[in-house]
Chain A
Amino acid sequence: MTSIDSFREDVSRFVHDRLPGDIAAKVATGRELEKDDYVRWQKILGERGWLIGEWPKEWGGGGWEPERQLAFLQETGRAGAPMVIPYGVKMVGPVIQTFGTEDQKRRHIPGILSSDVWWCQGYSEPGAGSDLASLRTSAVREGDHYRVNGSKLWTTQAHWADWMHCLVRTDSSGKPQQGISFLLIDMKTPGLTIRPILTLDGQHHTNETFFDNVMVPVENLVGTEGRGWEIAKFLLGNERISIAETGAKLRLLGTLQQMFERVRASDTEPGFLKARLQAKLLDVEMQLSTLVALETYFVRAWAQGRPSGVDGSILKIRGTEILQAMTEVALDLEGPYAAVHDPADLHDGLQVPETAARQASAMAHEYLYGRCWSIFGGANEVQRNIIAKAVLG
């Protein structure tokens, strides 16, 4: 057994032993997790030293090479652990470590590592989605403060967050990318308000955030004025290993296989229908195993010096589109329950018994929320533009 294989076993056993039973049950039944669930799990990972495995050793991390990072993501996802919420440990943490002042590190890193301070990401705006560089939320220097005005759209978990890492415009004279700065904003600052936005799955994940003369101390600027774009690119570049999210997909495949077994066991459903469902299931299994192979291949190649180039875009496109295909098969496997979707089911207490309708709600949730994946994190059309530009010049 290689050391990676035994690491995989350790991780999987750790999740099995240490993931609190109520969280495991929520994940297993497709219920929505609350903030406290994520915090509890991140604290458990933190104690084990696995919250920041990918951080370099000099920052106190595990210094994991990409292959180990991937193994960790896959095993935790597959075993049903909640994902580590990226806005703190995966996004702003490395940014502060790389670009921040000693003071910023002292102030913010402990809260990120303990998961006691929750972060959100305020980049997109009503007028700036795919074209992020056109963002207009302005920050005007006034003495020791920036006066921030404007709005952000799709600020996921802003309603849970204590702080936001935010891209603001400090200069509109030159190229759009040049006038962007990276600010850390306390969500309790007067003038900052949020408005919940429900998504098509009927859940409240995301928000609109308004800034009405929000005064942000200048010491909350990361790097220098105008470096925001470079910092954002650095941060988004860190996503290439987690982007395909194969762990959670492998778990979903397992769920689909169990659902199929129940259909197969029926002695009243027509044989052709069973064969058809089986073939559909095998088709997504083929696609997913290809994705796993692709991800493994890239990670090994990167370790040997292959430039990651458009590999992240390839993984983003395939990962999201395979997820969407899987969730459509999930609905196919629901048969008479395929249209059932009650968003409230995902918030029921664990004492509420499992029924076919509840499971169907969870699967319909996967299908609906699945539509978001090809839009956020760089929409798939934009990823295709990136690939096309790279291969066609």
Chain B
Amino acid sequence: MSFLLDMNEEHRLLADSLERMGREINEFEARRRRLRATPADRMALWPHLAEVGAFGLAFEDRRGGFGGTTTDIAVLVDSLASCLPVEPIIASLVAAGRTLAAAGCDRADRLIAALIGGTRVPVLAHTEGFDAFAPPHLVRALPIADGYVLSGMKPAVRGADVATDIIVSALLPDGAVGLFALDTASAGIEMERTRLIDDAGAADLKLNDVVAAGGDLLEIDDAMAAIGDAQEWSLMALAVETASLARAMNRATFDYLNVREQFGQKLSRFQALQHKAADMAVAQAEAEAVASSAVSLLVEMPSVDRQRHLLLASLAADAAGRVIGHSAIQLHGGMGVSDELIISHYGRRLAAIRTQVATADARLARLVQLQESEL
């Protein structure tokens, strides 16, 4: 861990065991085989994570966990990043987890307990278009006698392929937004599964008149605020993951430049490559700095400033990730574009991170919106 995280002894112990688990279960070839199998196995780490109690890290004591701080999440994400988990850790623990934690109802409590225990996997399904920060308009919920009927579509929901439950945002008739917890086995839920660029799974989630019980509507004061909070925490986690991947990619690339010889000398002797390596080191330092600031500002800042700074940090992390992802591949030559080396897998994960929660353009558009609304 080379960037500042305020870790205690428990964090350190957990980080060690997560790193060891990642190395063993996600050993490169084993992971690659699982992901290329038909059907692909995208949940191999999950039971092991549950077993060491990793999921409790995402929740406070009063919700049955033993963590719930940004540092807790950062430790979890950072310890696992370099073993490239495709399991929906951020989509489930952070995104769905934060919305559930914002709810005060039985349904949410039970789901959180099952999530911590590893028996249920809820993921958040909110985004409907480019603008991930807008309220839903495609998925609508109409009240019926003792519940609601939901219909509409959520595109390419990360983790939906392995989810047991979907926390889905829907527009209510009065113009408010509701968050519903739906069992993915419910009648009327249709999933068009696909694969993502980082080998994780996703699905177009179609709701064809799905009947939800009244208790499935989570009791949350302001659903859009809870979604916003989940997005901020997710962006924080993604910034941390970017920093971890930056570190891993740089280490691998610098090692490679010091081993690979062409024209009778180490690649690291060529000044053009030295300068690229220097730029990668600069980008890594920036990625670490913005990750560490995201971890602290999420707790310290008042909410309006917080979103603005977090969006800026996430854009900075993306920019650093892009420099490192592309340069690391380029400097490995053909080996960099081979599926047989971890470098291209790291590069693909960075490409996925740049789209997770919202694309860079949508984040920037959100910043513009925030600024305009202040004027």
Contact = CB atoms under 8 A, between A and B. Distances in A.
A256 to B, nearest CB: 14
A367 B156 contact: no
Contacts of A272: 364-365, 368-369
Given A336-B129, A340-B195, A357-B156, A375 B337 contact: yes
B348 A368 contact: yes
A130 B333 contact: yes
A372 B337 contact: yes
A336 B344 contact: no
Interface string B314-354: 00000000000010011001101111100011011001101
A371 B339 contact: no
A371 B347 contact: yes
A339 B158 contact: yes
B293 interface: no
Nearest to A269: B130
A342 B195 CA distance: 5
A197 interface: yes
A131 B204 CA distance: 47
B194 interface: yes
Contacts of B263: 130-131, 134
B197 interface: yes
B373 interface: no
B351 A340 contact: no
A131 B267 CA distance: 11
A385 interface: yes
A335 B330 contact: no
Interface in B119-135: 127-132, 134
A336 B356 CA distance: 9
B197 A341 contact: yes
B50 interface: no
A355 interface: yes
Interface stretch (A10-18, A310-318, A376-384): A376-384
Contacts of B355: 331, 338-339
Interface in B149-197: 155-156, 158, 192, 194-197
Contacts of B362: 273, 335
B156 A336 contact: yes
B360 interface: yes
B359 A335 contact: yes
A270 B339 contact: no
A198 B192 CA distance: 26
B2 interface: no
B339 A130 contact: no
A266 interface: yes
A268 B129 contact: yes
A336 B360 CA distance: 11
Contacts of A199: 337-339, 344
Interface string A350-393: 00000111001100100110011011100111001100000000
A331 B134 CA distance: 20
Interface in B225-279: 261-264, 270, 272-273
A364 B273 CA distance: 27
Contacts of B337: 199-200, 371-372, 375
Contact of B262 (A130, A344, A380): A130
A273 B334 contact: no
B137 interface: yes
A337 interface: yes
A277 interface: yes
Contacts of B130: 263, 269, 273, 335-336
A134 B261 CA distance: 11
Contacts of B261: 127
A191 to B, nearest CB: 24
A49 interface: no
Interface in A116-149: 124, 127, 129-131, 134
B305 interface: no
Q: Give the secondary structure class of B's interface.
A: mixed
Contacts of A364: 197, 351
A202 B262 CA distance: 28
A339 B356 contact: yes
Contacts of A368: 197, 348, 351
Given A130-B263, A268-B131, A197 B194 contact: no
A268 B155 CA distance: 15
B250 to A, nearest CB: 18
Contacts of A270: 131, 134, 365, 368-369
B284 to A, nearest CB: 20
B156 A339 contact: yes
Given A339-B156, A341-B196, A273 B333 contact: no
A130 B137 CA distance: 53
B198 interface: yes
A153 B341 CA distance: 15
A198 B33 CA distance: 13
Given A130-B262, A368-B348, A356 B134 contact: no
B359 A338 contact: yes
A357 B334 contact: no
Contact of B196 (A268, A277, A339, A385): A339
A129 B202 contact: no
B273 A381 contact: yes
B156 A337 contact: yes
A154 interface: yes
B156 A375 contact: no
Nearest to B273: A381
A276 interface: yes
A374 B331 CA distance: 10
Contacts of A343: 195
Contacts of A371: 326, 329-330, 336-337, 344, 347
B361 to A, nearest CB: 5
Contact of B131 (A269, A355, A356): A269
Contact of A336 (B155, B264, B345, B365): B155
9 contacts: A198-B340, A268-B134, A269-B130, A272-B365, A273-B362, A339-B356, A355-B204, A375-B330, A379-B333
Closest CB pairs A-B (n = 9): A200-B344, A335-B130, A198-B339, A342-B195, A338-B355, A341-B197, A131-B262, A273-B365, A339-B355
